[in-house]
Chains A and B, each alone.
Chain A
Amino acid sequence: MILGLEFEPVSRLVQWKTLFGSGPFAPTRVTFQIVLSVIIIIAFYVIASRKKAMVPKGAQNIAESAYDFVQDGIILQTMGEEGLSWTTFLITLFSFILVLNIWEVLPGFQMPVTAHIAIPVELALLVWVLFNFVGIKSQGFFGYFKSMAFPPGVPWPLYILITPIEIISTLFVRPLSLSVRLFANMLAGHLLLATFAVLTAGILFGAPPLLKIGAVLPFGLLVALTGFEVLVAFLQAFIFTILAAVYIGGAMHPEH
């Protein structure tokens, strides 16, 4: 350690002091951020839909382009016309994840809520319950599991191999990868930003006067990566929503 920099253990980054009380259900700053996100989203859409101007501007403009984005970019591409009734759910999911992710780069907070595994797991379980429910409702219990386990167009000896893979991948790997993808992406981004911030501070306050100029390098990377993380936050919200749409749309009809 040339500069005498000491990195604290990684778990320190995602553990927050409780605001009041103790135990597993005590609220932390992240709990506060979730409540704030919900209030922000509700307030935004209420304001956006209050005055329905013919030529949209301001909040209404943003809300309408978000609606168009979810409808044209996600639903029509993956579920088709009949998926349009899912717009409400998917736009809520998209806005919620986007706002939870964007806390990562907001000064003063700088903690993506989705870097706690509990929140992605909860969202993924919601999607899991929904697509299984839709599948059972539209194809019947046995029809749904038959089309899941025995995809048509396969020579029958291959079913020995394919049936377990399909069942495991649909029922277990889907929610696991859905939650881990969001969680790990946001945690990795948070770690990256925290590493460069600690490095900048360490050089600025720990190095001899002449070498302090070296702090420019990690600081420049920090600024660039913050811009990159905005992109990642948007992309992960998009990918989570599009996968939810694909899973729900796939459960509506048997494969053929």
Chain B
Amino acid sequence: MLDVLAAQQAGELASGLKTVGAGIVYGGAAIGPGIGIGIVVGNAITAMARQPEASGPVRTTMFLGIAFTEALALFGFVLAFLLKG
């Protein structure tokens, strides 16, 4: 009886730890891209405010920068699901 309980608890512990790990993975993966996107968009807004006539190219480049930065957060998102299984 105790063995069964212990085994069950171990299983629950393992799956609970998996969930915690997935949460930590996603949270950690979101830190860097969050800061990065903030820098990209902030500087793009500064550029657009200084030179409104250049906002077209600036906006395109801004989306490119966001896309490259955001990819890391999305890898974390996918990895969290893979970890949780």
Contacts and interface: CB of A to CB of B under 8 A. Distances in A.
Interface residues of A, number: 18
What's the dominant secondary structure at chain B's contact region? helix
Contacts of B74: 180-181, 184-185, 188
Interface in B35-85: 56-57, 60, 63-64, 66-68, 70-71, 74-75, 77-78, 81, 84
Contact of B64 (A183, A188, A243): A243
A10 B71 CA distance: 21
Interface centre among B56, B67, B71, B75 (most CB of A within 10 A): B67
Give the interface size bracket for B toward A: 10 to 19
B60 A181 contact: no
Contact of A188 (B57, B60, B71, B77): B77
A242 interface: yes
Given A10-B81, A77-B56, A77-B57, A180 B63 contact: no
23 contacts: A10-B81, A10-B84, A77-B56, A77-B57, A78-B60, A177-B68, A180-B75, A181-B71, A181-B74, A183-B78, A184-B74, A184-B77, A184-B78, A185-B74, A238-B63, A239-B63, A239-B66, A242-B63, A242-B64, A242-B67, A243-B64, A243-B67, A246-B64
